[in-house]
């Protein structure tokens, strides 16, 4: 039905019949983008592609689409009529085969009435049996989902950073719901442009449902199409399209997340609903600067890369000092700069992490990432109680944050609470099942192995601290202000 998209299109078609995007094609046939893409792939809708690699370069002709839609309609009607004819023939055969000669005796009439009564009773029993079966066969409740990377359907491939940012924002909002397990960005991004089917992806991520969709950027407007898929049956049971100005992008993200939460019928508390709906206008220029900085940070591998990312985030904070995500991004970049793998000055970087994270919390006291960054610095400074409070607050605000699970597990290791650390690491593994580091290494699928690794880690930390403590007792030359304060804490005195 229709021409394959790989064939050359007719060259004599009028220009005014041509549609130059999935959006225009979907509008013409009065369907959503996902539906027309499925028709093109599975039913041969006549859609063509330019002979180059630029994404989004598809087109079609209205006359061909109209003819294809009409032939599809006729085909479906003929199939329905054929089904009706088959049913009529079967009914006639049943009536002929079961017919009997009419007789005028009272016995015959009585038997006929008795048969009708029995059939009515049997029909009632069958009805209630079927109704009960349907009630029992209701789809199971959805308790876990993954937001797959949204597709960039804009004509400009460079808008990929906007699409990835939208994916991450929806994941972040849904992660605040305690009643729903949401897979982390780290794991879902491995399925970008995947050829796997929905059930195959769901099996790898151990989820009940998937969210997939697309993003189209048109100057200062953004359109997002999202749909929910039941993993076990590949059933699309919800689909919606959202169209906003770019300055209202946070409100758009909020609407999408709230709709998804409503459709999967999870319990959302009052505070969680408040976090889901939180949104305020943001300048398109500021939001784009932030997303470009975040995209650069995700790809950074060297000290120079991180320093350039810091400059991008600082530019976003200068453009709008009240935009909390930019301050969080700046704190994350400084945190990465201070690691041994990158080579920045640790204490200098940590001080800037604290400053940026606290600025973010002044603007948005509900920022789980800001609490997590602060707690990480406090743990490195051996401020154990403050770090514990920070991790607990971050997990309260974002119970699906796999990184928070990892860091809190490491804090528990330092306290000698190994079994609790294993439990938290295992939960982090469920949220980030495809991680190759972090919570993935702590939360090994083999619990005995994970326990052994954590206990070895714990033993190494204790041995290091014991050795340092002996040195500190022997000579005041080794005492440092931070260590001196730490030795007065209850955690230190346990060693």
CA distance linking residue 156 with residue 437, whole number of Å: 34
What integer pLDDT is reported at residue 486 of this predicted model?
41
Is the pTM for the entire model greater than 0.75?
no
Overall residue count recorded for the chain in this entry: 495
Least confidently predicted of 59-73, 177-191, 246-260: 59-73
**pLDDT, tens digit, for every residue of 389-422?**
999 999 999 999 999 999 999 999 999 999 999 9
Residue with tokens 């085909």: 75
Residue 352 confidence class, pLDDT cut points 50, 70, 90:
very high
Structural domains in the chain plus CATH codes: 1-99 (no CATH), 144-277 (3.40.50.10610), 284-493 (1.25.40.10)
Percent of the chain clearing pLDDT 70 (strictly above):
72
Average pLDDT rounded to a whole number, residues 120-124: 62
Which of 230, 190, 181 has its CA nearest to residue 210? 230
> What does the pLDDT read at residue 52?
52
Render pLDDT for 80-101 as a digit per residue (tens, 0 to 9): 677 677 766 666 655 554 444 4
pLDDT at residue 494, as a whole number: 40
Condensed to tens digits (0 to 9), the pLDDT of residues 279-331 reads: 888 898 999 999 999 999 988 888 899 999 999 999 999 999 999 999 999 99
Task: Kindly indicate the confidence band of residue 424, based on its pLDDT and cuts at 50, 70 and 90.
Answer: very high
Which pLDDT score, from 0 to 100, does residue 309 have? 93
The DSSP annotation for 147-208 comes to EPPPEE-SS-GGGHHHHHHHHHHHHHHHTT-TTSEE--HHHHGGGTT----HHHHHHHHT-S
Q: Which SS3 state, helix, strand or coil, does residue 55 take?
A: coil
- pLDDT of 226-278, one tens digit each? 999 998 888 888 999 999 998 899 999 999 999 999 998 888 888 888 888 88
Mean pLDDT, the chain, as a whole number?
A: 79
Look at 316 and 469; give whichever has higher pLDDT. Answer: 316
Average pLDDT over residues 152-175: 90
Most confident of 42-51, 57-66, 119-128, 474-483: 57-66
Do residues 162 and 219 touch, judged by C-beta distance below 8 A? no
> Is 122 or 442 the better-scoring residue by pLDDT?
122
């Amino acid at each position: 039905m229709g021409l394959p998209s790989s064939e050359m299109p007719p060259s004599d078609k009028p220009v005014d019949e041509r549609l130059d995007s999935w959006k225009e094609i979907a509008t013409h046939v009065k369907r959503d983008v996902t539906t027309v893409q499925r028709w093109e792939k599975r039913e041969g809708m006549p859609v063509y592609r330019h002979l180059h690699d630029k994404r989004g370069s598809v087109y079609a002709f209205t006359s061909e689409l109209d003819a294809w839609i009409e032939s599809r309609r006729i085909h479906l009607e003929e199939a329905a009529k054929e089904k009706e004819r088959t049913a009529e023939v079967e009914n006639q055969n049943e009536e002929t085969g079961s017919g009997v000669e009419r007789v005028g005796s009272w016995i015959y009439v009585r038997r006929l009435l008795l048969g009708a009564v029995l059939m009515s009773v049997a029909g009632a029993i069958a009805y209630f049996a079927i109704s009960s079966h349907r009630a029992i066969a209701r789809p199971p409740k959805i308790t876990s989902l993954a937001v797959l990377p949204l597709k960039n359907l804009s004509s400009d491939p460079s808008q990929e950073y906007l699409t990835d940012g939208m994916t991450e924002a929806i994941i972040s909002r849904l992660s605040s719901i305690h009643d729903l397990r949401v897979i982390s960005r780290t794991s879902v991004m491995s399925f970008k442009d995947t050829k796997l089917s929905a059930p195959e992806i769901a099996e790898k991520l151990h989820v009940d449902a998937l969210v997939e969709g697309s993003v189209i950027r048109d100057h200062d407007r953004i359109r997002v199409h999202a749909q929910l898929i039941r993993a076990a049956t590949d059933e699309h049971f919800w689909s919606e399209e959202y169209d906003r100005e770019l300055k209202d992008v946070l409100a758009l993200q909020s609407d999408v997340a709230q709709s998804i939460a409503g459709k999967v019928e999870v319990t959302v508390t009052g505070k969680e609903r408040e976090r889901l709906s939180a949104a305020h206008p943001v300048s398109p220029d500021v939001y784009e600067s932030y997303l470009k900085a975040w995209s650069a940070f995700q790809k950074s591998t060297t000290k120079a890369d991180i320093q350039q990312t810091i400059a991008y985030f600082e530019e976003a904070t200068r453009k709008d000092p009240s935009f909390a995500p930019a301050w969080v991004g700046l704190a994350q970049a400084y945190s990465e700069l201070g690691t041994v793998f990158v080579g920045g000055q640790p204490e200098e970087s940590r001080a800037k992490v604290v400053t940026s994270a606290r600025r973010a919390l002044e603007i948005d006291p509900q920022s789980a990432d800001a609490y997590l960054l602060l707690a990480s610095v406090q743990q490195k400074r051996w401020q154990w109680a403050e770090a514990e409070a920070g991790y607990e607050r971050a997990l309260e605000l974002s119970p699906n944050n796999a990184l928070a699970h990892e860091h809190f597990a490491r804090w528990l290791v330092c306290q000698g609470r190994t079994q609790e650390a294993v439990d938290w690491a295992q939960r982090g593994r469920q949220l980030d099942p495809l991680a190759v580091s972090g919570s993935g290494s702590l939360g090994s699928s083999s619990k005995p192995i994970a326990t052994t690794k954590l206990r070895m880690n714990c033993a190494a930390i204790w041995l290091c601290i014991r050795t340092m403590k002996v040195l500190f007792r022997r000579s005041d030359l080794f005492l440092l202000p931070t260590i001196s304060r730490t030795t007065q804490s209850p955690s230190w005195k346990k060693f």
